Structure 1
């Protein structure tokens, strides 16, 4: 996959660091993300992948560093100097966050349609007919039968819940989505369908995404570029195919050769 060619980054991350007591969870992570680009962050458990994702997504403030996002009509702005209200609005509109466990990103006891429509209501949409029609359209787009619009997510399979979480995030047409191990815990056949869906949606919507995964096959299928993390540090970065076909760092070579198990 060739990365989209654009003039300025959508997201600029510089020197992000995070400690938990004496443990350094993240050390001096920096990268740019371009509009429409998918970036995979890979490494074994405990490498700092999710810490990095949560810091960038303003879910857990880092100890040092900056995260700038290209707001609509306003250029790059530092996320951590925004007010809480501005950060919440960003999370509801231009950003999405897909959790590893769909139950963390869904309201399990309200209907599928209400889960999708809730983000639109947060932006002021109150017309019941439009909310329901948009929810039904998005259920169809993520391969859920629109006839199940009134069913609660707790009645859905794991793969359906994950697809519903994706619909809930994408209904507001975000420009950037964070994904934390989106295929983890799913059967292989369900994973394949979900990955195909994600690849289609990111292309169709020109959607930028940061995907945390321990699965190199997921990174190869979805991502233009990748970062490899070890013990809180980015040890290698580059185009996905180049990194996987010709790894330079010893740790990446071990990951690729499957000597290290996630």
Structure 2
């Protein structure tokens, strides 16, 4: 079996509690190269907790996360040192926050925001860094003339596109996205979704996207998992889950959101 035919990520039996509150229970799934997985559910369903546990942003109480590196070997993320986790997070992984200010340095230029991850990998040639930053600004539909402007002067949609450029410039293999279109105007959401769909396809990115919006899941994701009260209650191909939901909670979500 080739590397392409094996999962890039293997999540097994993750659990997380906060005091007496069980936020995540026995979550398991595989993610394949080039696959986009949506995690959906209402607020408090555990979807963001799951995303953060998989992305090594919070430590689970139980379970494991294994990531397949370019050499084809599965590595236990939680057996890595903090330095190894940080290196993974700024090279082969990306994380797009719901609020772009959480994923950007708001007081340095757009170009510096994009270049920072490249510099973390050892790139030091100013001309090359600037040219790459300008190229990526243009790829995410930001005018190259804004390269020296700080994100505080950008609109919400522009900040989110800049955050995407900052994450994808190092050509990661896996990207985590936490409600990336939430809080944006409908027209801005549509442009951002088109951009995300284009980039994930072009770059053959594996991605996990958390969203409460089933329309976003249908547009972006090959497969989806539905969460309720910390548990995965249904999973499958996105169109199959949305067009023929089996679990009562999924049926309720679909009927209340997708139908007039």
Give the TM-score normalised by the residue count of structure 2: 0.97
What is the SS of the residue equivalent to 2:122? Answer: coil
For 1:11-90, what aligned pairs fall within 5 Å after superposition?
A: 11-90=9-88
Tell me by how many angstroms 1:6 deviates: 4.1
Name the structure 2 match of 1:148: 146
> Aligned equivalents of 1:23 and 1:92: distance in 2?
32
> Aligned equivalents of 1:72 and 1:93: distance in 2?
12
Tell me by how many angstroms 1:44 deviates: 0.1
Tell me by how many angstroms 1:74 deviates: 4.5
> Aligned equivalents of 1:72 and 1:224: distance in 2?
23
For 1:177-196, what aligned pairs fall within 5 Å after superposition?
A: 177-196=175-194
1:162 to 155, 160, 163: 160
1:103 to 98, 101, 104: 101
> Aligned equivalents of 2:238 and 2:8: distance in 1?
19
Query: Structure 1 stretches (4+) deviating beyond 4 angstroms?
Result: none
Report how many aligned residue pairs link the two structures. 256
1:230 to 225, 228, 249: 228
What is the SS of the residue equivalent to 2:57? Answer: coil
Q: Which sections of structure 1, spanning at least 5 residues, go unmatched?
A: none
Name the structure 1 match of 2:172: 174
> Aligned equivalents of 1:6 and 1:38: distance in 2?
15
8 Å contact 2:193–2:220 — kept in the other structure? Answer: yes
Deviations 1:162-216 (A, max 9, x none): 0000000000000000000000000000000000000000000000100000000
Compared with structure 1, are the counterparts of its residues 168 and 259 closer, same or farther at alpha carbon in structure 2 (3 Å cutoff)? closer
8 Å contact 2:214–2:257 — kept in the other structure? Answer: no
Q: Which sections of structure 2, spanning at least 5 residues, go unmatched?
A: none
8 Å contact 2:11–2:54 — kept in the other structure? Answer: yes
Tell me by how many angstroms 1:71 deviates: 1.0
> Aligned equivalents of 1:53 and 1:66: distance in 2?
13
Give the TM-score normalised by the residue count of structure 1: 0.96
